[in-house]
Amino acid sequence: MQLLHTMLRVKDLDESIKFYTEHLGMKLLRKEDFPGGEFTLAFVGYGDEKSHTVLEFTHNWGQSDYDLGDAYGHIAIGCDDIYGTCETLRSNGVEIKREPGPMMHGTTVIAFVKDPSGYMVELIQK
C-alpha cells in the first residue's frame, strides 16, 4: 500500500497552483478539465506520483467558496531553514499564521502559513 494523494477543494485553482508552486516549490504535475462533471483537477507535488505523495486540487466550476469545517487540520511540509523560508514567504505576501519557533510542549520548530483557500500549511524544521 502507498499513500497517493490528499484532495483539497480550492476556491481559485490558478491561485492555489501559483501558491504551492511559486511559494512552496512544488511542481504542477498534471491538470485536466472534466466538462461533463463541471470540475477541474490539478496535481502538485515535489516529485512524480509513482514515488511521492502529492496534493490533488479539485475546483468545482461555479463554486468560489467552501466551508472548511473544524475537523480538518493541515498539511505539513519539511523545511531546511524554516526562519528563512518564512521570511521569504512573508516578503512575497504570504500570510504567516504562526511565526516559526518551538512547539509549546516540545522542541520541534514549526510555523503555519495560510494558503489562498484558507487551508493551513504547517512548516516543520527538518
Residues marked active site are found at: 122
Residue reference for cell 468560489: 64
In the sheet with 5-9, reading across from the earlier edge strand, the strands are: 5-9, 54-60, 39-45, 27-34
**C-alpha span between 70 and 47 (Å, rounded):** 30
Task: Give me 21's grid cell.
Answer: 508552486
Residue reference for cell 531546511: 80
Read off the amino acid at residue 74: H
**C-alpha span between 125 and 60 (Å, rounded):** 34
Please enumerate in sequence order all residues whose Cβ is within 8 A of that of 78, keeping only pairs 6 or more positions apart, or say none. 123, 124, 125, 126
